[in-house]
Amino acid sequence: MDAAYPAGVYRHPYPSVGLKAAHPFRPLHFERLDPAVMRHRAEEFRRLMERRRSVRMFSPDPVPRELLELAIGTAATAPSGAHRQPWTFVVTGDPATKRAIREAAEAEERRNYEEGRINAEWRRALAPLGTDWHKEFLEVAPWLVVVFEQRYGVAADGSRIQHYYVKESVGIATGLFVAALHTMGLATLPHTPSPMAFLTRILGRPEHERPFALFPVGYPLDGVEVPDLRRKPLDEVMVVVDRPAGVPGEPQASAG
């Protein structure tokens, strides 16, 4: 066992001697922060993220591609099932490609909104957002990023590489992508024109990749308005469990 571990905490240390002999490992570089610094950073990040809003009107102002590269580089740090990194971020700023995507998305969305593919309940849920089939932003935003999930990988010799927890992995990467864009002062909108197969065709992606979501990226149009929405308070989204459910314990003081 590695002498660096404090004795007695783990009876089954990771990596085991056998594992370490078979696969490369290296020490984790991790700095424990001062508690006041931790709290300060956490508050700053939450304040920053609370200001994020999806926008539906983008400015046509250009955005350097380098910024997109940084956001995608950040997204690609996400954890993934068996570290297979089952994502492809397809970026286009090409006007003809953006136009083709807009036209195809609007054709699908028109069917959703006008031919009843969105049912009455869904329509009611969307009413405060006021979305409709028009997707002009797909042409106006300087960049479109389409996140593809790789159902499996393809090795250099053409054989298939099994991927695991693809949706979970791509969802986490996408969250980091959205956070990275917001942190650098750019806006986006997760858009899922349904069905999305046209994205595979227009962007020339291989059969083993499936569109996950489409993100127009740019600056918000000056003067844009967003719905006055509230986020759920912490006590609605966080539950603390202090004993296993279904196991009788001491009655809580407040219940007695």
Interface with ligand IYR by CB under 6 A: which residues?
109, 112, 126, 129, 131, 191-194
In whole angstroms, the minimum distance from the beta carbon of 108 to ligand IYR comes to: 8
Q: Which of 23, 10, 42, 60 is nearest to 222 (CA)?
A: 60
Task: Kindly tell me which of 131 and 183 has the beta carbon lying closer to ligand IYR.
Answer: 131
Contact 227, 128 (CB under 8 A): yes
Contact 37, 138 (CB under 8 A): no
Task: Kindly tell me which of 92 and 131 has the beta carbon lying closer to ligand IYR.
Answer: 131
Task: Kindly tell me which of 121 and 222 has the beta carbon lying closer to ligand IYR.
Answer: 121
In whole angstroms, the minimum distance from the beta carbon of 98 to ligand IYR comes to: 16
Beta bridge partners of 215: 145
Contacts for 152-156 with beta carbons within 8 Å, 24 or more apart? 152/208, 153/84, 153/86, 153/208, 154/206, 154/208
Supply the DSSP string of 148-187, one letter for each residue. EEESEEE-TTS-EEE-BSHHHHHHHHHHHHHHHHHHTT-E
Task: Kindly tell me which of 193 and 220 has the beta carbon lying closer to ligand IYR.
Answer: 193
Q: Is 103 left (phi over 0), alpha (psi -120 to 50) or beta?
A: alpha
Tokens 């195809």, residue located: 104
Task: Kindly tell me which of 134 and 151 has the beta carbon lying closer to ligand IYR.
Answer: 134
Nearest to ligand IYR by Cβ — which residue?
A: 131
In whole angstroms, the minimum distance from the beta carbon of 86 to ligand IYR comes to: 23
In whole angstroms, the minimum distance from the beta carbon of 105 to ligand IYR comes to: 8
In whole angstroms, the minimum distance from the beta carbon of 193 to ligand IYR comes to: 6
